Each structure stands twice: as C-alpha cells, then as structure tokens.
Structure 1
Amino acid sequence: MTPEALTPERILEATEDVLRRYGPAKATVVDVARALGVSHGSVYRHFRTKAALREAVTSRWLERSVVELAKITNGHEHPAPVKLRSWLTTLFEAKRHKAGDDPELFATYGVLIEENSGVVEEHIRELVEQVREIIEEGVLARQFAPAEPGSAAQAVFDATSRFHDPAYAPQWQKPSIDDEFAAVLDLLLRGLSA
C-alpha cells in the first residue's frame, strides 16, 4: 500500500481488527502498521501517539451509537414518552451488544474510562444532550410535567446508568435484567408524566 492510499479511516478499521485480535494491552502501532502493510511511521503521520489512535478508534466506535440514537431523538412520529423509552432501550441494547459481541473493543472503552479520556466524557455529554432534547419536547407538548430539561436529562441518565455504564456489563446477561430495566423505565416515565 502506498502512503497516499493510507487514510485515517483505513487505519481505524485496521486498529479495530488489531484490538480485537490482541486486546488493548497487547495491541501496538507496529501491529496496526503490519496489518496495513506500511511502516509504523506512516501510521504516526495520521495519529501522533498510540493514545491518540486508541482515542480515535474509541470515538469512532462510540459515534455509531450516537448516530443511531439521534435518529430516535430527531424523529417526529412518536410522542416524547414513547421516544424516551425507545431511546433508553436502544442505548441499553447497543451497550449490551458491544459488551457481548465486541469484547475487545469494549475492553478498550473500559481502558479509556480508567484513563479518564475526554472521548468518553464527550460521548456522555452527547447522550445527555439527546435525552434533554426529548424531555424538552415532552415538556413543551405537555406530555411531561414542567421540569428543567437539562437537570431532568442528567437525572434520567444517572438513574439508568446500571444499564449503560460499562462497570455494570457483567450484570447485563442476568436472566432478570430485562425485567429490572423495564421496571426502572416505567418508574422514570411515571415520574416525568404530566
């Protein structure tokens, strides 16, 4: 491969494959370069450090969830309570699938949380903002009781953390988890009701 054909997107795809194969502790930039058939210096021209590369691949991975959730947030076919239930369910399912279907990248996400990465903080800000938009829509339509949308969104996000925070991932396979999730959603939506 020539250096001109090497794009950040191709590097990120290769990095995901390398992370899946070796895990976050053992994956190196040299492994990524080898997978692409280039020198590690070529990779460093696009990503200055290993940490920058890991943050970029994690950001790309998390962005997929944000895009799917934005479709729900921006949709106009459902009232806000239905939209909020759908949004929270989609988030839980996405996190649960990432933990089960893509464990090496999920482990990388965990490593970045421990490193207190700005990527994760930005991801959470985006998610809370989407919840705020749904709650504001519901308040304006009188589907939710009057509330300050930003505070209510943060409270909803915090109250459901057990179903999207990676620290709880081992619990997501419990047989009772869907019933527990439904109970929390029902309680939250009753609390928000107009």
Structure 2
Amino acid sequence: MPPTSETLTAERILAATEEVLRRHGPAKATVVDVARALGVSHGSVYRHFRTKAALREAVTKRWLDRTTQVLAGIAADTGRDPEARVREWLAALFAAKRSKAGDDPELFATYSVLTDGAGEVVGAHITELTDQLTEIVRAGAEAGIFTVTDSATAARALFQATARFHDPGYAKEWQQPGVEGEFEAVVDLLVRGLSA
C-alpha cells in the first residue's frame, strides 16, 4: 500500500468509493478496495464509516445530494414567479436524473442498486425534494397564483405525477425521441391545475 500524504477525510473516502464502485460495481466492490485506492488500511476507512452498509449509504446520499443542491437554488429564488420556478424545478430534476443516467450509465446502474438498499436515505432525499417543491407551491398560493389549500399535498402530487421523468425505474425511456415534448405536456397540464 503506498503511503498517503493527505489527511484521510470522509469526503476523500466517499470520492474513492465512487471510483471503486464505477470500476467494480456494487456486488464486487469492497472496503478493502476503497482502502487500497486511498493507500490506507481498511481499518482507517472503518474509523470513518463503521460498516460497509454505512459507507454505501453515505456514498448514495452524496450522489443524491448533488441533485438536491441544484434544485435548492431554484426553490430558494423567491424573486422569481412561482409558476416559472415550478416549471424550472421540475425541468432541472428531469435534466439532472437524465444526465446521470446518460453520462455515466455504469455508475447510474450501480447507484440504482445501492438506492434499493438505502430506504432511509432515499426516503430522506424524496422528503427534501418535496419540501423544496412545497415551498414553491406555498409561495404561489400566497401570491394568489395557485389555488391550492394544502401546499404539501399539491407538491407531493406534482412530484408523483412527474415520476416518469425522475424515477430511475423509467431511465430507459428518458432518451426516447419525443420525451421532452411529453415532459412539457405533463408539466403544462399540472401547472394549469395549480393555477387560479
């Protein structure tokens, strides 16, 4: 094992884990592989992540958080019209998921396997996303642009109604011809349903 001059941090471990997953896939990647890539003992990795499952959950959360952070900026932009924000937020969610699936299909497939075993992480991710969407819908209701009485319920309905464009189970459809038009038609229908 080559000596490492950098301090071992959780972030370095997660970055190395992602690379190991990309090379070996979730079935064959081990903590020993991650440690080897970092030039440390596997015990050093376990000091940051107590179990292999904890490491997998953390790397899955890191991957999902990339999308959450992009969308948070749209949700927080209170200077813009809520209808435009709903449209942009949904489009950014679709684009982020589509990009992950198309740009690095091997890693996307790996994360699809990992998310199946990370129920709490995925649940928290979905809650965070629907909370962002709730804030946009609430702003629209308060401005009289949307006629909804329960912003959280409306946001969950928007999220669920657009699942075909962000649920990894539909990833094969995201590259089909005409999918952008289908997405826009669904969003138009949903936004009209929110509007006064």
Aligned positions of 1:9-28 closer than 5 A = 9-28=11-30
Pick from 144, 162, 165 the counterpart of residue 146 of structure 2: 144
The CA deviation at 1:113 is: 3.3
Pick from 188, 191, 194 the counterpart of residue 193 of structure 2: 191
Give, in whole Å, the separation in 2 of the partners of 1:3 and 1:54. 25
The CA deviation at 1:111 is: 1.6
| Conserved 8 A contact 2:31-2:52 | yes
Aligned-pair identity in percent equals 62
Counterpart residue number, 1:87: 89
Counterpart residue number, 1:133: 135
Aligned positions of 1:1-194 closer than 5 A = 1=3, 5-194=7-196
The CA deviation at 1:38 is: 0.8
The CA deviation at 1:33 is: 0.6
Provide, for residues 81-125 of structure 1, a one-character-per-residue CA deviation record: whole Å limited to 9, x for no partner: 000000000000000011111323322331233225211110000
AA in 2 matched with 1:173: Q
The CA deviation at 1:77 is: 3.1
Aligned length: 194
Give, in whole Å, the separation in 1 of the partners of 2:101 and 2:6. 35
| Conserved 8 A contact 1:91-1:164 | yes
| Conserved 8 A contact 1:29-1:50 | yes
User: Do the aligned partners of residues 170 and 104 (structure 1) sit closer, same or farther apart at CA in structure 2, a change above 3 Å counting?
Assistant: same
Which stretches in structure 2 are left out of the alignment for 5+ residues?
none
Give, in whole Å, the separation in 2 of the partners of 1:104 and 1:56. 19
SS of the residue 2:147 aligns to: coil
| Conserved 8 A contact 1:3-1:38 | no
The CA deviation at 1:30 is: 0.9
Give, in whole Å, the separation in 2 of the partners of 1:152 and 1:97. 27
AA in 1 matched with 2:178: S
| Conserved 8 A contact 1:19-1:104 | no
| Conserved 8 A contact 1:145-1:193 | yes
SS of the residue 1:6 aligns to: coil
Give, in whole Å, the separation in 2 of the partners of 1:4 and 1:171. 42
The CA deviation at 1:2 is: 5.3
| Conserved 8 A contact 1:11-1:36 | yes
Give, in whole Å, the separation in 1 of the partners of 2:39 and 2:188. 52
TM-score after normalising by structure 1: 0.95
